[in-house]
């Protein structure tokens, strides 16, 4: 599979990162004629499967939504308006859920204190594997969680969390202007000085960067 240049150039402070982190970004223009082979979808799931988790608890569930299948139809019916313009064009969408409780009652003991952390990490692994395969991936949470969880028969022990759209970059001419413009928004980040501490939370954070090379 080819590795087309991203529409969004990696940002300066990402330059030091290794691939596939460096060129990862949340693209919104997908080629709706592109389909992934079942083996490619399996490889993406394997990346999530091999993510670390607290006590190897593996608290994740992934729903696979391929265009033209019932799961994809279920998802499309419950997307937020903003996400309806771009998610349907992706080659596959994964929905993540976390095993949060050990029983059906709201006050049942938690399955793992770190379930949400671990599902996020599995999602990140899948997202980076996609990038390494020359694909774009865009995580999203804008959908009706309760309605979609009901349609997917998610049990009370689990919490439906996020979607991950994966696909090949598309032609901006094939989508409406607003969707095309999304891929040219600035990608910005808080400086390290706001969230990285070499001492206590209430002490001085790292300056503009540990190596004085910008934030
Ligand atoms: C949990 C989560 C929820 C998100 N929800 C949406 C969403 O509903 N719609 C959307 O277009 N992007 C969504 N995003 C994408 C973020 O806006 C994006 O990751 C962020 O702006 C940083 O941009 P980058 O991924 O290109 O670096 C979500 C990302 C995460 C991790």
Domain boundaries along the sequence of the chain: 17-176, 185-215
- pLDDT tens figures, 43-76: 999 999 999 999 999 999 999 999 999 999 999 9
* Ligand 1 near 23 CB (within 6 A): no
Scored b (16 or more CB within 10 A) or e, 46-75 reads ebbeebebeeeebbbbbbbbbbeeebbebb
Distance of CA 212 from the midpoint of ligand 1 (Å): 29
Mean pLDDT value of segment 9-38: 91
Mutation choice for ligand 1 from 86, 140, 169, CB with most ligand atoms inside 8 A: 140
- pLDDT tens figures, 110-131: 999 999 999 999 999 999 999 9
- Cα 109 to chain centroid distance, Å, stands at 28
* Ligand 1 near 129 CB (within 6 A): no
* Ligand 1 near 83 CB (within 6 A): yes
* Ligand 1 near 162 CB (within 6 A): yes
Name the band, by pLDDT with cuts 50, 70 and 90, for residue 214: very low
More confident residue, 202 or 158: 158
Cα–Cα distance, 73 to 159 (Å, whole number) = 20
Secondary structure (DSSP) of 134-161:
T-EEEEE--B-HHHHHHHTT--TTEEEE
- Ranges of beta strands (E only) in 29-118 are 60-65, 92-99
* Ligand 1 near 9 CB (within 6 A): no
Distance of CA 188 from the midpoint of ligand 1 (Å): 12
Residue 36: DSSP 8-state: -
For residue 123, the ligand 1 atom closest to its alpha carbon is 31
Distance of CA 139 from the midpoint of ligand 1 (Å): 5
- pLDDT tens figures, 160-191: 999 999 999 999 999 999 999 999 988 899 99
pTM, rounded to two decimals? 0.94
Distance of CA 96 from the midpoint of ligand 1 (Å): 14
- pLDDT tens figures, 131-153: 999 999 999 999 999 999 999 99
* Per-residue pLDDT at 44: 99
* Ligand 1 near 25 CB (within 6 A): yes
* Ligand 1 near 108 CB (within 6 A): no
**Among 99, 135, 116, CA closest to 2:** 135
* Ligand 1 near 139 CB (within 6 A): yes
CATH 2.30.140.10 fits domain 17-176 = no
């Amino acid at each position: 599979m080819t590795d087309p240049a991203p529409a969004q150039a990696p940002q300066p402070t990402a330059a030091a990162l290794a691939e596939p982190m460096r060129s990862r970004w949340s693209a919104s223009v997908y080629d709706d004629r592109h389909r992934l082979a079942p083996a490619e979808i399996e490889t993406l799931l394997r990346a999530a499967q091999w993510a670390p988790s607290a006590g190897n608890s593996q608290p994740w569930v992934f729903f696979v939504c391929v265009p033209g299948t019932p799961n994809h139809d279920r998802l499309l019916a419950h997307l937020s308006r903003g996400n309806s313009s771009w998610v349907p064009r992706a080659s596959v969408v994964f929905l993540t859920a976390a095993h949060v409780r050990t029983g059906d009652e709201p006050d049942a003991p938690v399955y793992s204190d770190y379930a949400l952390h671990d599902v996020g990490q599995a999602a990140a692994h899948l997202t980076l594997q996609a990038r390494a395969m020359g694909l774009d991936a865009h995580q999203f949470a804008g959908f009706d969680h309760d309605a979609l969880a009901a349609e997917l028969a998610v049990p009370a022990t689990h919490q439906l969390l996020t979607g991950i759209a994966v696909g090949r970059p598309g032609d901006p001419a094939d989508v409406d202007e607003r969707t095309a413009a999304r891929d040219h928004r600035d990608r910005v980040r808080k400086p390290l000085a706001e969230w990285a501490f070499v001492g206590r939370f209430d002490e001085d954070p790292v300056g503009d960067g540990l190596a004085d090379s910008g934030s």
